[in-house]
Structure 1
Amino acid sequence: MQLNLKQNVESETDAMTKHETSLSKITSKSIQTSPEKQEQLPISGALAVFAGQVSSKGRKPENEDAIGIKIPTGLTLTTKGIVSVISDGVSAAEGGAKASAISVSNFIADYYSTPESWSVLTSSTRVLTALNRWLYGLGQDYRDARKGYVCTFSALVFKSCSAHMLHAGDSRIYRFRQGQLVKLSRDHSTSVNEFTSYLTRALGMDVNLEVDYKQFNIELDDIYLLTTDGIHDVVTDHELLKSLVKFQQSSPLLTDDACETFCQNLVDKAYELDSGDNLSAQLISIKQLPTQAIDDVYQKLSSRPFPPPMEVGMKLDDYEVTKVLHQSQRSQVYIVQNKLGEERCMKTPSVNYIDDAAYIERFMLESWIGHRISSQHVVKVVDHHLNKSALYYLTEYLQGLSLADWMVQHQRGPVEDVLQLLKQIETGIRAFHRKETLHQDLKPDNIFITREGVVKIIDFGACHIKGIAEINTPLKRDQILGTADYTSPEVILGYQSDGRADLFSFAVIAYEMLAGEPPFKGQLAKCHSRNDFVKLCYVPVYKTNPMVPEWMDKALEKALSVEPSLRFVDTNEFIHALTTPSQTDSKTFIPFIQRNPIKFWQSTCATLLIWVMYLLLS
């Protein structure tokens, strides 16, 4: 995540602080998406809210609070959700007003700039980490960090049927549901006496930021209220509850204007109670949840027809089939050529699944993923500019052979050659993981080596995308989509998995390339319970390939641990251990017969000879 550090702070904050009252709810214009992108990610309904906000300087000479709400439309609403942010510049900090304005505007802008495949937690924490360090850096001109660019920060991200809370400081987030008011956030402050308290957490206060994060389900008619301390320091929770009950009863048909009126009334009430601070409030009411019946989802998914199985010479749109590469019960792959003579690979869904909504969604996600993974070692999807008449997608045409075929031709391949290929595979895997996407079906058949020796990871049919998994759907998605011979134990057992699952599959491939046979004596596919996996017996790779050094085998054994926590942190750490000779632990005793077997037997024979001669002469 990169932030633009050259933004003009003065012009950015002046516009937000010169007026007494800020009513600038940030709402996006219609987000234009190409037909292809809309096809690649089917939208399961739409989340809808009513929202209002008000911010006033109150009795202070300037308004150091900042507020912002963004309600996008279309695909962005599904993949990123709705954001509401409130911030209070610390009065003791000279740059407090600027800090709050920067935190709100930049968080909203940068959050929506993060990859759509990222989860809310990853997107928001990456943005906040960078934002906090920027504010901390701006405040280094001050001797006391507390007097720099410091502000509170509270945000809600509404995505699908969940809300994600991020909070640091003493602004507050409340939820009103079925007549009950619950304070979701906790104040990060310490009271010195009855009149004085200090913040213990805030943006820009320290180079490291600790943020409270919670995820919880949202329900229809939920109301969420965000306030700065100028309001909740004088308006009690009991009074807030009474106001919300009265508001809900008197406004059965909510609107944005009604929400804004409530916020204005709350600001006025705090002012009347002699609040001496800035006054800001936001109100968000859940109008509609993104739930649909399976028939509604299927109707959207099936908007484009399945192409029939094709033969050489047949045409689809501007492409003519020149060769049939693969046909199975699940899909077909062809080499096609356009009018310019450009060759592509075309993948089409199987008509066997024409009524299977989950299958159609997964097929469409393959192209969606391919457009977002950019790496020299991942096959490129190249059809984003097309207006298609049927359901299919195109990738670059690769000439060469699969890793499975390479392994047949290179039984126990030279260690150096294997390592060169493994480095490229790892780079491709890392490109998936940077987008919070697990491949989940890494195997030799899904890895291609071009004639130029460039490795490409292919087939996105089993990928798990963290950001998409957060979106509610009535579809029953397959949980285990990989190949048993290469799938990690936690995936087979249905446990929660992360990048270490792909690491395990990668290690299986590495072992097979070096040993010429699968690890665990080929028993991995027969394991169906935790006890089965615990009983697996690891055979050192150097026993079948003496050219593999022991330190390299240790890296393989660690990466193939049944327990994920015992593996390497990620594939990059594994490839480093696999390619970097390690020092033998001096505390580990290695028998002389293993260290130098020739000298061992020479010494043994000499000793026996001396002993025999002694017996003969005695």
Structure 2
Amino acid sequence: MSLADASPRSRQPGRLRVSVGQHSDRGKKPRNQDFHGLCVPQAAQLDSKGIAVALADGISSSEVSHIASETAVAAFLSDYYSTSDAWSVKTSALRVLAATNAWLHAQSRRSPHRYDLDRGYVCTFSALLLKSTTAHLFHIGDARIYRLRGDVLEPLTQEHRLHLDADRSYLSRALGMQAHLEIDYQALPLEVGDLFLLATDGVHAFLDERSLRACLAGSADDLQHTAQRIVERALAGGSDDNLTVQLLRIEQLPEGEPGELQRQLDELPCPPVLEAPCDFDGYRILRRLHASARSHLYLARDPASGATLVLKTPAQDLQQDTQYLQRLLLEEWIARRIDSPHVLKAHVPSRPRHYLYSSSEFIDGQTLAQWLLDHPQPPLQAVRDIVEQIARGLRAFHRLEMLHQDLRPANLMIDAEGTVKIIDFGATHVAGLQESDARETLRQALGTAQYSAPEYWLGQPASVGSEVFSLAVITYQMLTGRLPYGAAMARARSRAAQMRLRYQPVGRQADLPPWLDDVLRKGCHPDPNQRYRDPDEFAHALRHPGQALLARRHRPLLERDPLLFWQLLSLLLALSLLTALLH
């Protein structure tokens, strides 16, 4: 059985293009328990999610396994394309498969065969997702995925089958077999001409690699006919099982930067410098809010909705900078996908746009940088409240596999009601877009040096822990008016130099608990493995240090800070010696 949403050949210039063929036969069995499908989506989803091919094989000992295989493939092809396009392929696919596995396992536990999983809702599953210039493979069970590159036919998956002897074996892993899903994953670079073959064991158990390669040798024009020929050869070779084959050949790889952002970049001209008050692209420009060497911000009103908003246009000197313009468009793309009261919201226009700019809500308030000037010694409770709101905003980013990467007081707004909002997404890393970018133009961008995690300077990838570091530095600055390592952190460009950095304690203040330094020190530790796992954990620790941390504060100074202990002891000995000499 099959599920398909594709023409035999996808012809979209400048995009990923493939040829496909697939065939399934019940063979000598009374019912075909295999299920297969593919989807070649249109335009935007082809760029953001890619092409999906999936194959499932029910097990013969189960009377309901065909339901499992059909459910697995249908759910995968449907739900994968419903996941956020900010997610990476791996995250999207694994979350869909985990949900499907949980449902199948629950059905088996509710059935009369709850203690005999070989008769429950169980199937093998193999999928191939092609996005940009990468193939993503997901596999569990005993089907196989092969790749033919040139004259070399290479199996890319391993069978999850345990052989007891020459005649007896059983599946060690399958979809729906256990509550916890353990599935193989790998990512491989694509080349034009690569031919992928997905086959159930009814095929590959009866055709060796030489026979398969011979069948594929004449597949230049008609993959559908080739798939049928492979199934017929396996039947002639004695196959007594269901047989399914899927073929997919790479005809064209995308060039340049695919997707919605690039199309806007190609089609929309940059706007002129606006002089308020004026009318622009259907908006009424009220006044200029800010101008810099990079961008201009304008307060505008949308007559159609009555909304007050902010338009951001590129500065004249950067209107030929493709990477900067793409980043400007990316800010609105991100804002449209995050739904949090602590993240700047995009303004979604009700009419077509004729110029290249971004639009967002207007926040009537001040930046945290300005707030700190107005509140040089804020109470700990106010700091905790701000940090918790920032952590909630960062959580919204992280759930979508995004990293803000430029968290600093100037990029945090506090409105008239005291709500904190994260703004400025120009440095944000989006996992789903990063893997779509064939030429890597959406590179990871460093934030501001004083607040950037030290691993940035070592060329290491950013992580949620990097955001914890930035948040901890901001927290320290709110409490003390300075930075935990002074200016030394920005100069420490090696791991050895970073580990020599000395955290500066906040000092004795009446309203600060003695354990606070331990929380801040851990939050902004140079080693990302020593920090809190995420911003929420750090924010929680600011209120609830835990028994271990409280107990640590009562340890002797020699255990808590050996260096400080010996420094103080040396000072006392020096003073004693000086006193003795003077007398």
Give TM-score scaled by structure 2 length: 0.90
1:68–1:594: structure 2 CA closer, same or farther, 3 Å change rule? closer
What is the 5 A alignment of 1:73-88? 73-88=42-57
Alignment of 1:219-368 (within 5 A): 219-245=191-217, 247-248=218-219, 251=220, 254=221, 258-292=222-256, 301-339=265-303, 341-368=306-333
Which residue number in structure 2 is paired with residue 50 of structure 1?
A: 19
2:406 to 428, 441, 444: 441
Correspondence for 1:8:
none
Q: Give the C-alpha shift of residue 530 in structure 1.
A: 2.9
Alpha-carbon distance in structure 1 between the residues aligned to 2:290 and 2:490:
25
Detail structure 1 runs of 4+ shifted over 6 Å in the superposition: 297-300, 592-595
> What is the aligned counterpart of 2:186 among 206, 214, 218?
214
1:299 and 1:209 map into 2 onto residues whose CA distance is 39
Could you say what secondary structure the match of 1:230 adopts?
A: helix
1:594–1:196 CA distance, 2 compared to 1 (3 A): closer
- In structure 2, runs of 5+ residues without a counterpart are 561-583
Rounded Cα–Cα distance in structure 2 between residues aligned with 1:592 and 1:391? 60
Three-state SS of the structure 2 residue aligned to 1:550 is coil
Specify whether residues 44 and 409 from structure 1 end up closer, same or farther in structure 2 by C-alpha distance, changes over 3 A only.
farther
Give the alignment of 1:488-507 within 5 angstroms. 488-507=453-472
Change in 2 beyond 3 A, CA 1:299/1:446: closer
CA distance in 2, matches of 1:365, 1:575: 29
1:137 paired to 2:137: no
Partner residue in 1 for 2:139: 167
Residue of structure 2 equivalent to 1:3: none
Give the drift of 1:226.
Answer: 0.3
Give the whole-Å Cα distance in 2 for the aligned partners of 1:76 and 1:231: 32
Kindly provide the CA deviation profile for residues 556-581 of structure 1, in whole angstroms up to 9, marking residues without a partner as x: 11111111111111112211222213
Alpha-carbon distance change, 99 to 448 in structure 1, aligned in 2, over 3 angstroms = same
Within a 5 Å distance, the mapping from 1:19-34 to structure 2 comes to: 22=1, 24-27=3-6
Q: 1:518 aligns with which of 477, 483, 499?
A: 483
1:200 is aligned to 172
Distance 1:176 1:128 in 2: 27
Find the residue that maps to 2:360 and give its secondary structure: strand
What corresponds to 1:16 in structure 2? none
After superposing the two structures, state which structure 1 stretch, 142-151 or 437-446, moved more: 142-151
- CA distance 1:341–1:135, change in 2 (3 Å): closer
1:106 aligned partner: 75
Report the identity percentage: 39
Please report how far the alpha carbon of residue 587 of structure 1 lies from its aligned counterpart in structure 2 after TM superposition.
7.3
Residue matched to 1:579:
543
2:36–2:73 Cα contact (<8 Å) kept: yes
Q: Is the 8 A contact 1:479 1:494 kept in 2?
A: no
Contact 1:44 1:472 in 2 (8 A): no
Aligned partner of 1:67 in structure 2 is 36
**Deviation for aligned residue 1:222:** 0.4
Q: Output the CA distance in 1 between the equivalents of 2:203 and 2:555.
A: 71
> Which secondary structure does the structure 1 equivalent of 2:519 belong to?
helix
Q: CA offset at residue 73 of structure 1?
A: 1.4
Call closer, same or farther: CA 1:85–1:502 in 2, change over 3 Å.
same
Deviation at 1:59, TM superposition (A): 0.6
Shift of 1:152: 0.3
Q: Distance in 2 between matches of 1:587 and 1:411?
A: 30
Match in the other structure for 1:187: 159
Q: For 1:370 and 1:307, how far apart are their aligned partners in 2? A: 21
Question: 561-570 or 111-120, which moves further after superposition?
Answer: 561-570
Q: Give yes or no for the alignment of 1:509 onto 2:474.
A: yes
Given that residues 220 and 288 in structure 1 are in contact (C-alpha distance below 8 angstroms), is that contact kept between their aligned partners in structure 2?
yes
Q: Tell me by how many angstroms 1:521 deviates.
A: 2.4
Post-superposition Cα deviations, 1:49-101, rounded to whole Å, max 9, x if no partner, equal: 00111111111010100001000111100110000000101112232111000
RMSD of aligned residue pairs (Cα, Å):
2.4
What is the deviation of 1:240?
Answer: 0.7
Q: Which residue of 2 aligns with 1:458?
A: 423
8 Å CA contact retained: 1:100, 1:150: yes
The alpha-carbon distance between structure 1 residues 282 and 417, as it changes in their structure 2 partners (threshold 3 A), is: same
Decide whether aligned partners of structure 1 residues 218 and 569 sit closer, same or farther in structure 2, where only a CA change above 3 A counts.
Answer: same
Aligned partner of 2:565 in structure 1 is none
Match of 1:392 in 2: 357
Distance 2:107 2:289 in 1: 58
Q: What amino acid sits opposite 1:305 in the alignment? A: P
Question: Contact 2:50–2:130 (CA<8 Å) still a contact in 1?
Answer: yes
Query: What is the CA–CA distance in structure 1 between the aligned matches of 2:423 and 2:146, rounded to whole Å?
Result: 47
CA distance in 2 between partners of 1:501 and 1:426 (Å): 13
> Structure 1: which 5+ residue stretches go unaligned?
1-21, 30-42, 596-618
Preserved contact between residue 383 and residue 393 of structure 1 (Cα < 8 Å):
no
CA distance in 2, matches of 1:45, 1:468: 17
- CA distance in 2: counterparts of 1:508 and 1:181, whole angstroms: 53
Look up the match of 2:438: 473
Contact 1:67 1:87 in 2 (8 A): yes
Mapped contact 1:25–1:53 kept (Cα < 8 A): no
1:369 matched to 2:338? The reply is no
Amino acid at match of 1:151: C
Query: Does the C-alpha gap of structure 1 residues 549 and 96 become closer, same or farther in structure 2, counting only changes over 3 Å?
Result: same
- Equivalent AA in structure 2 for residue 174 of structure 1: Y
In structure 2, distance between residues paired with 1:544 and 1:407: 20
CA spacing shift, 1:300–1:446, aligned 2, 3 Å: closer
Other structure's SS at 2:451 match = coil
Shift of 1:393: 1.8
> Aligned equivalents of 2:24 and 2:482: distance in 1?
68
Q: Do the aligned residues in 2 keep the contact of 1:370 with 1:380 (CA within 8 Å)?
A: yes
Give the alignment's TM-score, normalised by structure 1: 0.85
Call closer, same or farther: CA 1:588–1:341 in 2, change over 3 Å.
Answer: closer
Q: 2: distance between equivalents of 1:314 and 1:194?
A: 83
Given that 1:304 and 1:389 are in contact with CA atoms closer than 8 Å, whether structure 2 keeps it comes out as: yes
Matched residue of 1:332: which SS? strand
User: Relative to structure 2, which stretch is displaced further, 441-450 or 235-244?
Assistant: 235-244
Question: 3-state DSSP class of the match of 2:299?
Answer: strand
Query: For 1:382, what is the secondary structure of its paired residue?
Result: coil
CA gap 1:176/1:115 in 2 versus in 1, 3 angstroms:
same
State the Cα distance separating 1:496 from its structure 2 match: 1.3
Change in 2 beyond 3 A, CA 1:404/1:229: same
Q: 1:300 to 1:342 in 2, by over 3 A?
A: closer
Q: Work out the CA distance in 2 between the residues paired with 1:218 and 1:128.
A: 24
Question: SS of 2:333's equivalent?
Answer: helix
Q: Which amino acid aligns with 1:498?
A: S
Q: Which residue of 1 aligns with 2:374?
A: 409
Given candidates 122, 125, 134, the residue that maps to 2:94 is: 125
